[in-house]
Amino acid sequence: MIYTEQQIKDFKQQHFAYLKIEEQHHILTIQLNRPKQKNALNEILLQELAYVLSYAHYTNDIRVINLTAAGDIFCAGADLKTLMGHRDTTSGSSIPTANQKIILGDLWEDLHKPCIAKVCTPVYAGGFLLLGGCTHVLATASSSFTLSEVKRGIWPFQVMASLLKIMPERKVLDWCIQGKTWSAAEAEAAGLVTDLVAEDTIDERLQTLSLNIASNAPSAIRLGLKAYRDMQAIPEEKQQAFLQQRLMELLNTKDAQEGIMAFRQKRKPNWTGE
């Protein structure tokens, strides 16, 4: 993670300029809160995202992360002022400066926890990197997904890499080449959106899904997601042996032992995330 476990010790004393944070029922909700700038990603917002995701990674009590956005745009992508070298010196954010470069597409790689995006408004350009890092994307018909860089003489390199992990290759390349806007239904058909939900039920759907995930063994999910990431770099002929080792490690966790005992005793398990 970008920040160490020691650096996030005083998380609850920090002031976030462009995020709203809420934590309850093992669910951490992160709201992008830079609506006047269409939630464009500048260096402070990226730093705050890196910090809160590091906190989620190190905190056993957090089992699910929800990602939402204030305003009429979910995310407009990278802040052009930041790309041109402008520094945000007036935000008031208290988050410590990261000691390494923050690459948005990499922030979710080592999170190893389920992340659900709630999308009810348009997403543009680099905003796709937020969705690419999530395990679930709930969207309404009022959302749309625009990848128009090619119309401005640019190619969405990082977005392409992120989308290739979750969508068919030709779909991704066609989207990058044509620079189209997709509806929520088209994004669901392509695999970017996992659930197309009615506007008046999306909050209920988000809560139900989050609580359902949070009720399952957090150690199993964490180690399962980590194994999924790690096996991408392992030759196919060695993956089964690798996964068998991971299973043996998982069986030694307190959560696995508790789950087996609870099943035998016909009671609800008491997960600790250990």
pLDDT in tens, the chain (274 residues): 999 999 999 999 999 999 999 999 999 999 999 999 999 999 999 999 999 999 999 999 999 999 999 999 999 998 877 767 778 888 999 999 998 999 998 999 899 999 999 999 999 999 999 999 999 999 999 999 999 999 999 999 999 999 999 999 999 999 999 999 999 999 999 999 999 999 999 999 999 999 999 999 999 999 999 999 999 899 999 999 999 999 999 999 999 999 999 999 999 999 999 9
Which residue range forms the structural domain that includes residue 122? 11-214
Same domain, 251 and 179: no
HEC sequence for the chain: CCCCCCCCCCHHHCCCCCEEEEEECCEEEEEECCHHHCCCECHHHHHHHHHHHHHHHHCCCCCEEEEEECCCCCECCECHHHHCCCCCCCCCCCCCCCCCCCCHHHCCCCCCCCEEEEECCCEEHHHHHHHHCCCEEEECCCCEEECCHHHHCCCCHHHHHHHHCCCCHHHHHHHHHHCCEEEHHHHHHHCCCCEECCHHHHHHHHHHHHHHHHCCCHHHHHHHHHHHHHHCCCCHHHHHHHHHHHHHHHHCCHHHHHHHHHHHHCCCCCCCCC
Same domain, 173 and 226: no
Same domain, 20 and 45: yes
Residue 270 placed within a domain: no
Residue 2 placed within a domain: no
Same domain, 35 and 110: yes
Same domain, 104 and 236: no
CATH no. for residue 27?
A: 3.90.226.10
Same domain, 57 and 170: yes
Same domain, 105 and 163: yes
In the chain, the number of structural domains is 2
